Amino acid sequence: MEVQKNLGIRKIGYAILLLGLVVFAPDTLQAQEETKPVDKTLTRLAVIPFQAVILEDGSSTAQCPICGSVNSSGSIVRGSEKIVEEIFTDKLKDLKNVEIISSERAAGVYQRISADSLKQPLSRIIQKVGNELHAAVVAVGFVYRFRERVGYDYSAERPASVAFEIHLISVKDGSTLWRGIYDKTQKSLMEDILQAPSFFKGGAKWVTARELTKIGINDLFKTFSGFEH
């Protein structure tokens, strides 16, 4: 009788564990890859202005200006690249072994060098900017979609939707040390139970595009290698 009781308890335990895996499985990013571990001795990091990749032909995909990868695109709210850059830069401040170069200084140097190097590839321009700033790593991001929520916290006609990509570039050789992509359109629990974790991260409500971006940046930072949190 005692053996049967123990078996029953174990079965209940397994069922609870399985339910937990379904409801509380961690979010997965649309795409993200790490191409090379970041050396912990790299401390000086510059963030150059993020860019909105706006397509004039109405295409639903856009190419990354750095690596040429094809990404889902869409409408972009004016100034959204500044929002993504701001959230990313604020998150960088949580890293212990990184010295962040002033955004204003980095932007000024980038604007001057890019204006003088129109025919050069962006990767080469980034290296020039990094060298002048005496940075070891340069961060640059691209916004492919930034669609605002239509509605309210608990009643939305259209959900927020964002897609962006961030690269960490080595100034020494121009290689990509890390690359992260986030592509997400919020869905209700009724539409997709697997999105329960991200839905609860947003406070169990319909989030704004800025709030969805913050969730995405937090997720991407979990994939950083070589930086101390």
pLDDT tens per residue, range 203-218: 567 899 999 999 999 9
CATH of domain 28-221: 3.40.50.10610
Burial class (CB in 10 A: 0-12, 13-18, 19+), 179: buried
- AA letter at 135: A
Distance, CA of 164 to CA of 183 (rounded, Å): 7
Mean pLDDT of 18-40: 43
Domain edges within the chain: 28-221
CA dihedral (80, 63, 215, 202) positive or negative: positive
Yes or no: say if 224 and 178 are a contact pair by the CB < 8 Å rule.
Answer: yes
- Residues paired with 184 in a beta bridge: 162
Residue 228 pLDDT: 66
**Selected residue with higher pLDDT from 202 and 16:** 202
Given the structure tokens 């701001």, which residue do they identify? 86
Q: Which residue is listed with tokens 């795409």?
A: 31
The answer to whether the beta carbons of residues 124 and 157 sit under 8 Å apart is no
pLDDT tens sequence across 120-129: 899 999 999 9
Identify the band that residue 159 occupies on the pLDDT scale cut at 50, 70 and 90.
Answer: confident
Phi, psi at 202, each rounded to 5°:
-85, 10
Q: What percent of the chain has pLDDT over 70?
A: 69
State the amino acid at position 159 in one-letter form. Answer: P
In this prediction, residue 38 carries a pLDDT of 54
If you ran DSSP here, which 8-state letter would residue 76 be given?
Answer: B
Contact between 186 and 206 under an 8 Å Cβ cutoff? The reply is yes
Q: What pTM was estimated for this model as a whole?
A: 0.76
pLDDT, average across residues 39-48: 76
Give yes or no for a contact between 26 and 194, defined as CB atoms under 8 angstroms apart.
Answer: no
